[in-house]
Amino acid sequence: MTATILILFVATYLGMALGGFPGLRIDRTGIALVAAILLLATGALDTAAAVSAIDFPTIFILLGLMILSAQYAGSGFYDWCALKVAQAAKSPARLLAVIVLVAGGLSAVLANDVVVFAMTPMLCLGLQARKLDPRPYLIGLAGAANAGSAATMIGNPQNILIGQVGHLDFWRFLAICGGPALAAMAIAYATVWLVWRGRFGMPQEGHGDAVRAAPKLDRWQLGKAVAATLVLLILFTRDIPQEHAVLLIAGIMMVSRRMASRDMLGMVDWHLLVLFGALFAINHALGLTGIPTALVNDLSAAGWLPDRLAVMLPLSLAGSNTIGNVPAVILLLAAWPSPPEGALYGLALLSTLAGNLLLPGSLANIIVAERAAAAGVKLGFVEHARCGVPMALLSMAVAAVWLWAGGWMGL
């Protein structure tokens, strides 16, 4: 049975790295789900073990934040915000700065994947209408969303999981990770500006009639979403489980006379939730073989646990840009069940910032590229890498110095 588990485990993470299998129209979520099903079908994992392996508090927080984000989307806020941003500043430098600030700020409070999913199409239209090349701004959008999301425990899926595993405090997390996140946003801006300087104009004829009027904004529904977000942040200071607080706010959002609960649930990224659940089960099955425990013991004896920056830095960079930062964090925490608190902050920061290196490094990057392609804008691997490589390496260097100087991680 160990051989079966190993084969399915390797096949799953190979699929994570490739993004699919040649000749098959199956994505990362499909690969993980099929592997989990085969584990059940072969008897390598029983139903009770599969269910118990899932970290439901993490799933609940993700679900609740997606419903809260659906409230923002239903109010028209994301489309309105993206178009206003695209029309905001006259100079390319100021426009890029606005995009970085808005994307990073929103991603610190709402999941970065949801923010870029909602903003990318309208941002493309607004930029094309101004005869500007959307590509540098889209790279800035993705880079800032990743950087800003590193600031908080609810900014991205991997941080949510890290916060739950370590039982971390929301405001303490912000105090430790907020500084490097702000620095990474500044680095994202500077990198895109320097790499694309003098080339922000659109190389083809602009679509001047693409956008004639700003989307309708329902201020009442937006006010409801903002109030709910503020209440949620207050609840994070109280002695209440974070998943309960998030679900409570999500439940209140679904009680509405204007927005149908079916529509709000339709905006939930169920694929991401299924991916999390399947990977939890697959990693648990590997844990039953005893291989991860033995590996951790060997690494500990050799002094190579990722509780030091010399190990965490290359591990985050390699993991995030091969199998992706979300699967990499799930895998690492499954194999290393009791990391020190400082290492958790380091993992949250470095795995998130490493996602800016290459286009497949984070879900946010992939979402921006796919949504841009649907809007007629092609964002290529090399174009992204020209900005992504220096952006990731510089921001990770700053974060590493911050973690070392603060005494959270040793060299």
Enter the tokens of residue 69: 């984000």
Q: Decide if 278 is inside a domain.
A: yes
Q: Decide if 207 is inside a domain.
A: no
Number of domains, the chain? 1
Torsion of CA 267, 271, 276, 282, to 10 degrees: 160
pLDDT score of 205 = 41
pLDDT digits (tens, 9 = 90+) for 223-233: 999 999 999 99
Q: Decide if 206 is inside a domain.
A: no
Q: Judge whether 336 and 306 are in contact, CB under 8 Å.
A: yes
Q: What is the pTM of this model?
A: 0.85
Q: Is the pLDDT of residue 203 over 50?
A: no
Alpha-carbon distance of 292 to 5, in angstroms, equals: 13
Q: Which domain holds residue 144?
A: 1-201+212-406
pLDDT band per the 50, 70, 90 thresholds, residue 237: confident
Q: Decide if 96 is inside a domain.
A: yes
pLDDT score of 207 = 45
- What integer is the mean pLDDT of 323-351? 89
Q: Decide if 275 is inside a domain.
A: yes
Q: Decide if 62 is inside a domain.
A: yes
State the burial class of residue 375 (Cβ atoms within 10 Å of its Cβ: 0-12, 13-18, 19+). middle
Per the prediction, the chain carries an average pLDDT of 89
Closest CA relative to residue 231, chosen from 244, 246, 241, 221: 246
Q: Decide if 271 is inside a domain.
A: yes
Alpha-carbon distance of 128 to 347, in angstroms, equals: 38
Q: Decide if 411 is inside a domain.
A: no
